[in-house]
Structure 1
Amino acid sequence: MSLSKKHFKIAEILAAIFMNTHSGEEREKYELWERENGRLAKEIFNRENYDEFVRVAERFDCQEGWQVFVENRKIKVLSGEKQGGRVNRFKFVSRYAAVGIILIACGLFFWLNRSREEEPKQPVFAYQIEAGTTGARLTLADGKTVDIVKDQTFMMKETDGTLLVTDSMGIDYVAHDVKDEEEIRNTISTLTGMEYTLTLSDGTKVYLNAESKLCFPVCFKGAQRVVELSGEAYFEVAEDAAHPFVIKTRDISVKVLGTSFNLRAYEDEEVVTTTLTAGKVQVFDGRQFKDIVHGEQVVYEKAARTMEVSKVEVGRYMAWREGKFVFRNERLEDVMKYLARWYNVRYEFMNEDAKNMRVGAKLNRYNNMNPIIEMLKKNPSISISRKDGVFYISSE
């Protein structure tokens, strides 16, 4: 194996960083290299990868590697006759460092070469599409907006006396000395690449997925607890037999007393799905009611205005709440639309056949998107290229 002088130089600097013998100039060169190769630097400096580097290095002749290193770096080895104890130590350290350099260089070559084999036109570490994060935009009744970021903490009081508290867990509305006046309604929205959790004044927990919006009263009043949803949310509804909890979407409404379920009602999708994990809910589309129990799902077809009830694998539809993506024989267009909400990526299908390709996968929601793209590329029927930040997808 021949490594370029460029790779040897990078490896030499990395070895100096490892041994804390680097100069200021080497530190500057390393920082420049790290900015351009962030993921690769992380891989190399991860001690868990050491065994991988060793396995790669063992494929090559160490003596030959030393000679190649000497020739490439123009190192002059002192003869034993002219060495004192200090020189001997220097020679030992130099040879030890050189072996380390060769080992790292082999590891560097391994990562560079492997990524070229997997993605010839664009190494996987050249870009990284990060996962979404915690965040939301809160719109108050008076029209003022508050952008909430991860781990932000603040407390404010609504005009009716309801306390609004945010912490690392989300927003918590606490009814405290509430005035007897008309209902005040706020709206919380998650933008692309965001998720958020809020606890309503009755104790109901709502987990909002990306690109979702919930309109709700800061303190429930009246015979029913009514909220409005656009997007996807998982509800853990506090029990209150005297005051049913009602979620309204543009197409249907869901009525519950106390239960846990997932409601997906994106306005740009063709169906609305209600999936129940516990309890019982009633779905109404303006013409008919459908009751479902644990393990069942109602799918409302917008165009046909029909509702179908079926038994489903509940975990598949709750996976996003547990930090997973689970796709089972789903259309690639639907998969990409769902992923784009979370990863904030742009894509374009080059033909209709590509949209209808069927895919299945189980992936970590909080990892970057690169493994998902790599998985799709391994499908011989799918072609994916990336240009100017847009993924172009076609069928082979």
Structure 2
Amino acid sequence: MTFSEAKDFLTQLSKNWNQEATSVRNFIEWQKTASVEELEELDQWHREYLSSMRGQLAFDDELVEKNSQWLMQNMHDTLNKQHLLKIAYRRRNIFFKIAAVLLIALGISASFIYVKKANNKPSEILAKAKVIAPGGDKAVLTLADGRQIELDSVGKADVVLQDGAKVLKLGKGILAYKSSASAKVTYNTLTTPKGGQYQVVLPDGSKVWLNSASSLKFPTAFVGNERKVELKGEGYFEIVHNAAKPFFVKAETVNVKVLGTGFNIMAYSDEKTIKTTLVHGSVEVNSGIITQHIVPGEQASIAKGEEEFDILHPNIQEIIAWKNGEFWFNNTSIQSIMRQIARWYNVDIAYKGNLSDVKLSGVLSKKQNVEALFNILEATKQVRFKEDQNIITVTPYSGS
């Protein structure tokens, strides 16, 4: 493949990413042997071309866009500080866009991990792993009278009738409530275990996605002039607008008031902060004394035991990645990463040695088994893992 042919290939790929696998492989092989000058020129031309064609390109979708956005947002400033790293970035940026297309076309699961350690150069790995589901649609529904229903063992049908409210399992991992005008208010609790996730459609049509090791307490009917639920753990909310009946979420010491919006709340007991991240709409967060209004793209973070919120501007895709079947890390400590892994894979974590300076960034699929995920993380040569009777011991990497 020549430089001109490489440009032609990227032009065609921008318009339709369903290219022949042979053409994709030829481009990947060419970029491995191309000179730095050729790659820099191609990269500059490609960015200008995409900018001029914005809104018309296949690159706006799925894994290609996710990897491209993440690379641009999280590596650009750091890598531009050194010329060699800048060149390495440009090689990666082109390679991963095209590699992602190839992997999607061939039906292969791809994961990308990037590691940065103090005073060290970055390293990366693109890994392929067998796609299996270590976690899944698991939850227990606790009724007002204390009865418990394991939802993953219930077929698609009516689950139960409660004082004028009907509970239905709509499909795999989705529970829905329908209440009559005469329905009495009773409270149910939906609980996901470690390794579980579930979605519930509330009586007003609002939707809540529960992450692993979480619970949502809610009424079987919304009566009066407000709607109230209580969250433990993490959940993503899409609330039906009703100005006359605002929606409230209580998460430990934080209360969130909404009219109609999409937002994520993370309030795990083993995390030091409670974070409310607004995707769209408008919400108010209250800690008892302080009330803070946030707008889309903002996150209200409050340390447990404190009264004031910090307003941050996180990567929204990173915040809701769990809902989309992904782990997203952004210079994240290994301890924080392992807490997420522990919840999804239902394992316990132990540490040996000094891991305080190990921070990773990247995108990993939650659909691979834990061994495959650990292989990817170990390939960074920063950490090692040892499994013994469901206990994962994490140690610093010390060679083979």
Q: TM-score, normalised by structure 1?
A: 0.64
Shift of the 356–186 alpha-carbon distance from structure 1 to 2, 3 Å rule, reads: farther
Residue 148 of structure 1 pairs with residue 151 of structure 2 = yes
Shift of the 150–156 alpha-carbon distance from structure 1 to 2, 3 Å rule, reads: closer
CA contact (8 A) 1:226 1:246 kept: yes
> Equivalent residue for 1:112?
none
CA contact (8 A) 2:133 2:366 kept: no
Q: How far apart, in 2, do the equivalents of 1:216 and 1:210 lie?
A: 18
Q: How does 1:333-372 map to 2 (within 5 A)?
A: 333-351=335-353, 353-354=354-355, 356-372=357-373
Q: How does 1:281-296 map to 2 (within 5 A)?
A: 281-296=283-298
> Equivalent residue for 2:104?
none
Q: How does 1:69-108 map to 2 (within 5 A)?
A: none
Q: Deviations along 1:225-270, whole A, 9 cap, x unmatched? A: 0000000000000010000000001110100000001111111211
Shift of the 366–151 alpha-carbon distance from structure 1 to 2, 3 Å rule, reads: farther
Instruction: Report the AA paired with residue 357 of structure 1.
Output: V
Q: Deviations along 1:8-33, whole A, 9 cap, x unmatched? A: xxxxxxxxxxxxxxxxxxxxxxxxxx
> Equivalent residue for 2:198?
196
Instruction: Report the AA paired with residue 363 of structure 2.
Output: K
Q: How does 1:277-316 map to 2 (within 5 A)?
A: 277-316=279-318
SS at the partner of 2:243? coil
> Equivalent residue for 1:60?
none
TM superposition shift of 1:355: 5.0
Residue 159 of structure 1 pairs with residue 138 of structure 2 = no
Q: How far apart, in 1, do the equivalents of 2:347 and 2:303 lie?
A: 27
Q: How far apart, in 2, do the equivalents of 1:128 and 1:143 lie?
A: 37
Instruction: Report the AA paired with residue 190 of structure 1.
Output: T
> Equivalent residue for 2:92?
none
Q: How far apart, in 1, do the equivalents of 2:325 and 2:137 lie?
A: 13
Instruction: Report the AA paired with residue 212 of structure 2.
Output: A
TM superposition shift of 1:163: 0.9
SS at the partner of 2:139? strand
CA contact (8 A) 2:158 2:166 kept: yes
CA contact (8 A) 1:192 1:341 kept: yes
> Equivalent residue for 2:48?
none
The partner residue of 1:178 within 182, 186, 189 is: 182
Q: How does 1:23-38 map to 2 (within 5 A)?
A: none
SS at the partner of 1:263? strand
Q: Deviations along 1:22-63, whole A, 9 cap, x unmatched? A: xxxxxxxxxxxxxxxxxxxxxxxxxxxxxxxxxxxxxxxxxx
Please tell me the root mean square deviation across aligned C-alpha atoms, in Å.
2.3
CA contact (8 A) 1:129 1:370 kept: no
> Equivalent residue for 1:381?
382
Q: Deviations along 1:133-157, whole A, 9 cap, x unmatched? A: 1021000001111111077323145
Q: How far apart, in 2, do the equivalents of 1:322 and 1:359 lie?
A: 20
> Equivalent residue for 1:259?
261
SS at the partner of 1:299? strand
SS at the partner of 1:374? helix
TM superposition shift of 1:130: 5.0
CA contact (8 A) 1:151 1:167 kept: no
> Equivalent residue for 2:394?
393
TM superposition shift of 1:177: 4.6
CA contact (8 A) 2:131 2:368 kept: no
TM superposition shift of 1:339: 0.9
TM superposition shift of 1:356: 4.9
TM superposition shift of 1:387: 3.1
> Equivalent residue for 2:223?
221
Q: Deviations along 1:144-174, whole A, 9 cap, x unmatched? A: 1111107732314543211111131511101
Shift of the 337–321 alpha-carbon distance from structure 1 to 2, 3 Å rule, reads: same
Q: How far apart, in 2, do the equivalents of 1:166 and 1:128 lie?
A: 26
> Equivalent residue for 1:238?
240
SS at the partner of 1:149? helix
Q: How far apart, in 1, do the equivalents of 2:176 and 2:237 lie?
A: 14
Q: How far apart, in 1, do the equivalents of 2:246 and 2:235 lie?
A: 18
The partner residue of 1:332 within 328, 331, 334 is: 334
Instruction: Report the AA paired with residue 168 of structure 1.
Output: G
Q: How far apart, in 1, do the equivalents of 2:255 and 2:357 lie?
A: 30
Shift of the 242–177 alpha-carbon distance from structure 1 to 2, 3 Å rule, reads: closer
Q: How far apart, in 1, do the equivalents of 2:162 and 2:152 lie?
A: 24
Q: How far apart, in 1, do the equivalents of 2:384 and 2:212 lie?
A: 27
Q: How far apart, in 1, do the equivalents of 2:201 and 2:131 lie?
A: 34
Shift of the 310–128 alpha-carbon distance from structure 1 to 2, 3 Å rule, reads: closer
Shift of the 156–379 alpha-carbon distance from structure 1 to 2, 3 Å rule, reads: closer
Hey, which bits of structure 1, 4+ residues long, moved more than 3 A? 127-130, 156-159
TM superposition shift of 1:322: 1.3
Q: How far apart, in 1, do the equivalents of 2:322 and 2:303 lie?
A: 22
> Equivalent residue for 1:21?
none
Instruction: Report the AA paired with residue 165 of structure 2.
Output: T
> Equivalent residue for 1:272?
274
Residue 136 of structure 1 pairs with residue 145 of structure 2 = no
Q: How far apart, in 2, do the equivalents of 1:380 and 1:156 lie?
A: 49
